[in-house]
Structure 1
Amino acid sequence: WSNNNKGTYATVFKGRSKLTENLVALKEIRLEHEEGAPCTAIREVSLLKNLKHANIVTLHDIIHTERSLTLVFEYLDSDLKQYLDNCGNLMCMNNVKIFMFQLLRGLSYCHKRKILHRDLKPQNLLINDKGELKLADFGLARAKSVPTKTYSNEVVTLWYRPPEVLLGTTEYSTPIDMWGVGCILFEMATGRPMFPGSTVKEELHLVFRLIGTPTEDSWPGISNNDEFRSYMFSQYRPQPLINHVPRLDSEGIDMLTALLLYDTRTRVSAEASLRHPYFLSLGENIHSLVDSKTHTQMYLTSVMC
């Protein structure tokens, strides 16, 4: 067994099931350490137990002892961050589209069930050798506040966090995940993170510099936000995204723009994104897939970029 990853309040091991001989990922959550951990963990379990979808990592089993809770997940050997690294950060654009479609399928399934992911980032998108992409790590799926440090003291990244969360909203709804989807689309298409800020102020600055400083027009109510006013940002004009993502076609740029809208009421949903013209080239039968199946093998140009 190897310990390969310390998460928010958990350690992840790789193991093998004696029953099936399949590899599994064991997420061990210690119950004695942190006040909030057990209830967050138990919430995560009850959420995941009910999620059965080809683009969401499967929770096989739960082992509950006095001192720990161990979640037995299907094992996937890579994630989108590693995949990008292996590509030398130059993914083939058809694969970008296929991964994007799978991400949106998994998210749409969650959102229909009123479940938010809240921590979308390339490390939480697992990929297997068939090129199937699966959402993982719903550790923050229900927590009201988002911690700044993980259990093992790593800094929680701000790069994929929407501006309304950076500015202190607690009125969470499904659009909070869609901003991160846009950031991930940009990263797959360019090979670099879209807004790699290390503080909240720097993160907002990077967003405003590219998307434009929000106005009452682009973000109704923003001028009443005390936190926004206190930063006193310069008035940046929005830049054409195509200049920053030259490899993305016009439909892709259109979708990216719709994902990165400040007004959460107009930011595109996962369900609507799946029907975006950007995906037309994948053919009509991708919409008739049942939840439990992916046919990505038909479309992946090559499993490695």
Structure 2
Amino acid sequence: MDAVEKANAERQKRWVKDQKVGEGTYAVVYRGREAATGRKVAIKKIKVGQFKDGLDMSAIREVKYLRELHHQNVIELLDVFSSKTNLNLVLEFLDSDLEMIIKDRSLVFLPADIKSWMAMTFRGLEFCHRNWILHRDLKPNNLLVASDGQLKIADFGLARDFADPGYKMTCQVITRWYRPPELLFGSRYYSSAVDIWSVGTIFAELMLRIPYLPGESDMDQLKTIFRALGTPTEEEWPGHTKLPDYVPMGLFPKTPLRDLFTAASADTLNLLSKCLIYEPRKRITAREALHHSYFTALPYPSHPSKLPKCTTQLAAHALEEVDGNVTMDSTGPGVKAKNGRLKRKLSSPSDDSKTRSIARRLDFTKHTPHS
């Protein structure tokens, strides 16, 4: 047994899988614990053999970026080990997610509660952006909530670095309801502003308790956005008519946010509007958002420990499956891909010997450099 195999075997012994809580095409999620201390964890077992070249890029990215990001508002990757033809990600155990909390009608949200969740989201996102990482799939069920109320950004399977502004990227990212118009129009050059739009739609959803912009197709998504915020003009968003997938969508008048968010403060609406500016370069940044008057005005954000908690806890939801299709067992409700979630279609399995070899060679004990 060589040094890598030996280190992997030792890491594997450190963790115990107790109960399967979810399974999808490409991954299985377990509730587990640390053998020595009994600490609860979630173990996401990715089936390496399902992928043409041994391992899906989303799994590689998730490991790469979570190894680099250490922040109280980003989910912690505790360990990685391989076993046979599987790659196992050991993640901190989290009780629920923001989507479950929003949908729990027994809970009442105070403005201070929403402010607290938004502050934690922006803090985690600012840390990602400061480290040149785009999340590219922010939505309520990727914002997980720990037992102490701390909110943590999770699921970095679509994340990527953006240090080079001239580098083309796919526009087929971010779940449709939370996807900004520049991506819907096919932009291949974009920045951290795409994540900010997603946060704006989540902000609105926290106030409305239903998704703010639920389109049924990419075209309908654009119409839904324009009905809510008005059709952009060339003055508002220079150059948008030249984007690859631009099509005229008709003229919709701009409706004041106050008409829908009747109880929101002026500071609240100002921050929301700055997250949902059409011109990406004019959208507020996460750092600027944290210094916005919304967060210093009364009421002050609720302490995380005082935030509403879900009455139906979902063990290890952390851990939504790689392709977004997990059906949970009786420990919690089903977790399925929402309308518009990007499907990460993967190739057919390669032969066992090849995937065994790839799994054996994976050594994540060292820091992974940026690609």
- 1:89-238, aligned counterparts within 5 Å? 90-142=108-160, 144-145=169-170, 157-229=175-247, 232-238=248-254
Aligned residue for 2:245, secondary structure, equals: helix
Residues 209-255 of structure 1: CA deviation (Å, up to 9, x unaligned): 111111111111012235222xx311112110111112321101000
Q: Displacement, 1:4?
A: 3.5
Distance 1:6 1:272, change over 3 A: farther
Residues 142-162 of structure 1: CA deviation (Å, up to 9, x unaligned): 2943668xxxxxxx8311011
1:29 partner letter: I
> Does 1 or 2 have the higher relative contact order (CA < 8 Å, sep 6+)?
2
Structure 1 gaps, min length 5: 149-155, 287-293
**For residue 12 of structure 1, what is the aligned residue in structure 2?**
29
Separation of aligned partners in 2, 1:57 and 1:176: 21
1:43–1:142 contact (8 Å) kept in structure 2? yes
1:243 partner letter: D
Residues 54-103 of structure 1: CA deviation (Å, up to 9, x unaligned): 00111100012341111100000100011112244742221100000000
2:131 partner letter: R
Residues 111-164 of structure 1: CA deviation (Å, up to 9, x unaligned): 00000110001000001222110000011102943668xxxxxxx831101111
Match of 2:257 among 229, 241, 253: 241
Q: TM-score of the superposition, structure 2-length normalised?
A: 0.71
Separation of aligned partners in 1, 2:111 and 2:86: 43
- Aligned residues between the structures: 286
Distance 1:90 1:296, change over 3 A: closer
**For residue 296 of structure 1, what is the aligned residue in structure 2?**
304
Structure 2 gaps, min length 5: 1-17, 162-168, 312-371
1:4–1:13 contact (8 Å) kept in structure 2? yes
Q: TM-score of the superposition, structure 1-length normalised?
A: 0.86
**For residue 34 of structure 1, what is the aligned residue in structure 2?**
51
Residues 250-276 of structure 1: CA deviation (Å, up to 9, x unaligned): 101000000001111100000000000
1:130–1:303 contact (8 Å) kept in structure 2? no
Match of 2:65 among 41, 47, 50: 47
Task: State, as a whole percentage, how many aligned pairs show the same letter.
Answer: 37
Separation of aligned partners in 1, 2:23 and 2:114: 28
The CA RMSD measured in Å over matched residues stands at 2.5
Name the larger-Rg structure.
2
Separation of aligned partners in 1, 2:245 and 2:115: 36
**For residue 267 of structure 2, what is the aligned residue in structure 1?**
251
**For residue 290 of structure 1, what is the aligned residue in structure 2?**
none
